[in-house]
Structure 1
């Protein structure tokens, strides 16, 4: 079914798909979506009910759009100010591999969901539809988009004391040797679930592991990012481990980023690559300039939680300041250029201020929207900064026009509401619900210590 509720003539026969799943021993299909806090929500139907779910959806309450991170329903958004209302959660069965039997959860399969109103028409709070609109806008401008996530996680022993599963050294094989069984199971399960990765390694933070997802089109990448969570958590559970993707897992720790890489493609070639400064084309300069211009509003969507704000510190490669650099990992926007070894198709832009508390569909949507606007406007790109600006004094940063990105709810809220680009991409209704969720989270955090805030988010992602 398409975003407008019209049947897709290219979709697989759902009855044949259901029969195949049943023959493979699948007894239930979980339909998942991601809310405005980056939390995955779901409904599970018996396999035999998949055709009915694909035809008319599964009923869910409209107020999921205003659940906050603590499962409190906030009625502060006028459009969803009562407990009344129902929407239809419809599995997106548009390809033969849309429904994935889960290697780590035998007998269960996963499919991503779209939210429609009770009549089957588009619902303004459906996050997936927001990304679909931006993909269509890119196509109208003559571009396809490629996207990838780097997924950081902290792996601990099962239990209440948050015991590290490995003890480093960072990036070392000895660290992963402590979690060999988990690594082997995870690689097998990722492959079985159809998830392609480029690499996996022990990261810098305590007991941290990172895997890099291979680039895909935006919708496929957002879907894959969600499926990765299920696959990783199941593999960890099978080995007596537990994984946290949260932006911060301890008050003093490095925290987890889910760095977002994007590029534009035109006529089959990377449109960011060119013969201009730093190997950029005019399109590449406009795309990067558009992201830089809208950065405060973008990161309010891509790293929106109380944990995100705690993580946004200089020296942690978390994108604390609003500037760009060429291969500068302290920059909020890092240009990864082409090279003779990597080839001209490699050019991409990495957004550092991105984490698991963001909805991946909304994150990709605002990034694409800002980049396309920069290309359309011919936005001017300033010179890159190749230093750690956190080591500069205020006067030097002021002279360079470099400002810190938001570290308080009030600042981030102002950036959300002050960005015409974010409002245009999300739509007024969804933006209103998103801000209401952030306000509710901030009100909870204001009454708790930093340690309590960190602990409350630790197992949400």
Structure 2
């Protein structure tokens, strides 16, 4: 790693944090190290641990990490196919991105460690084009320029397995789906998870046994986009620690095995203007003109968007009809088979509830990039005054090709070649990510596809099972 640069990294535009007071507070809580984390282009959470005694230096100058992390693939291979990062040379700085001291979280499930979300900057402290967190921050600023804020939240599905010395999948609960009996099988884990979620400052609306075998789902509350992505990342650490404490392993992979239902990390989003949900109105389905445009923009840009929100070889294998995985590009009102599901407001839920759920989203997505492209797509429809087509309330996977074609409904990509074409053809995705990051992202997808080319689907799924 390169030596510490002479020029310090400028802090984010936020209230100053007193590093000595923060370190003292953490020591009082028994914390010895702060894990500074970020998410790579494969959705993998990576981190460096900074001793509390060196926290002030990390806040001031960051921690050195190789620039090659931007071109790591899902199997820890390094691809040099992207011209901008075609050699093993170069370091960047990973800086804890703190608005307040409360952004460093003493981990309830990992005593002695705390967590901080990191941003990546060039070695001299200038912006680095491959920092995914900065992409979302720019999109939030773009929304503000257009007069909007956004709210977003993730539904998180996971597969629970009991530890097995041979590495076999041993379902941790026996079902039935959504049942109290299933929860009873993993009672200790659920209680520990709820306690740790609260201890880590997260908020979930519910926890339940999902439809898939040994599947559990948590629904994170809606927050501003950056906080929503941060919460998703922190929840991963919380889930894994709670599982480990009770002899379990959690797989957050899009498809833990070919027989599994698959894990979505469904992305819910809405726009806010002057403190009110801007999607809600007195039009059809309770939508405003903004709401109709937002839906229409997402629908138009869907092929390119899902190449970012569900990008992996596992994502492509999960994208099957009848599995509520968003296999076809259409929208519906509370239609769980639709790639875009409108959740309208109601007299019971209130007008602020209106949101759009993107089903084709999973843990292999970088949550910062996923949110950035989804919000940008929705905003494009608002700004252009787009109108969505008539919603579809059926499972179009049961239709024949001719009927789908007549309705203008097309299957989303299920091969690397198709998805790559959609990704590169999307002007919106290109503008949101920038040429440098897009190039690195495509190189990672190409490397994953090359790795999978001579392997069976079961081998591909096994290789991804425990990395999320």
Alignment match of 1:96 (pick from 72, 96, 101): 101
Partner of 1:297: 304
Return closer, same or farther for 1:27/1:365 CA change in 2, 3 Å cut-off: same
Partner of 2:287: 280
Unaligned runs of 5+ in 2: 1-8
Alignment match of 1:433 (pick from 418, 431, 440): 440
Q: Displacement, 1:52?
A: 0.5
**Residues 57-76 of structure 1 mapped to structure 2, 5 A cutoff:** 57-76=62-81
Partner of 2:158: 153
Distance 1:8 1:46 in 2: 25
Q: Displacement, 1:19?
A: 1.0
Alignment match of 2:43 (pick from 38, 46, 58): 38
Alignment match of 2:246 (pick from 229, 235, 239): 239
Q: Displacement, 1:157?
A: 0.3
SS of the equivalent of 1:97 reads helix
Partner of 2:257: 250
Superposed CA RMSD in Å reads 0.8
**Residues 407-446 of structure 1 mapped to structure 2, 5 A cutoff:** 407-446=414-453
Q: Displacement, 1:254?
A: 0.7
> Which stretch of structure 1 is more off in the superposition, 8-17 or 424-433?
8-17
Alignment match of 1:125 (pick from 121, 130, 143): 130
- Could you list the per-position Cα deviations for residues 323-343 of structure 1 after superposition, in whole angstroms to 9, with x for gaps in the alignment? 000000000000000001001
Distance 1:304 1:211 in 2: 22
Return closer, same or farther for 1:195/1:40 CA change in 2, 3 Å cut-off: same
Alignment match of 2:314 (pick from 294, 307, 316): 307
Distance 1:141 1:126 in 2: 23
TM-score (norm 2): 0.97
Q: How many residues are aligned here?
A: 458
Distance 2:259 2:318 in 1: 9
Alignment match of 1:170 (pick from 177, 184, 207): 177
Equivalent pair of 1:5/1:122 in contact (CA under 8 Å): no
Equivalent pair of 1:127/1:362 in contact (CA under 8 Å): yes
TM-score (norm 1): 0.98
Alignment match of 2:198 (pick from 182, 185, 191): 191
Equivalent pair of 2:14/2:99 in contact (CA under 8 Å): no
Q: Displacement, 1:6?
A: 4.4
Alignment match of 2:335 (pick from 321, 328, 344): 328
1:450 and 2:457 are equivalent in the alignment: yes
SS of the equivalent of 2:101 reads coil
1:217 and 2:203 are equivalent in the alignment: no
Partner of 1:337: 344
Return closer, same or farther for 1:9/1:439 CA change in 2, 3 Å cut-off: closer
1:396 and 2:408 are equivalent in the alignment: no
Distance 2:53 2:294 in 1: 46
Distance 2:40 2:240 in 1: 19
Q: Displacement, 1:7?
A: 5.1
Distance 1:63 1:57 in 2: 17
Partner of 1:22: 27
Equivalent pair of 1:29/1:111 in contact (CA under 8 Å): yes
Equivalent pair of 1:131/1:362 in contact (CA under 8 Å): yes
Distance 1:50 1:284 in 2: 44
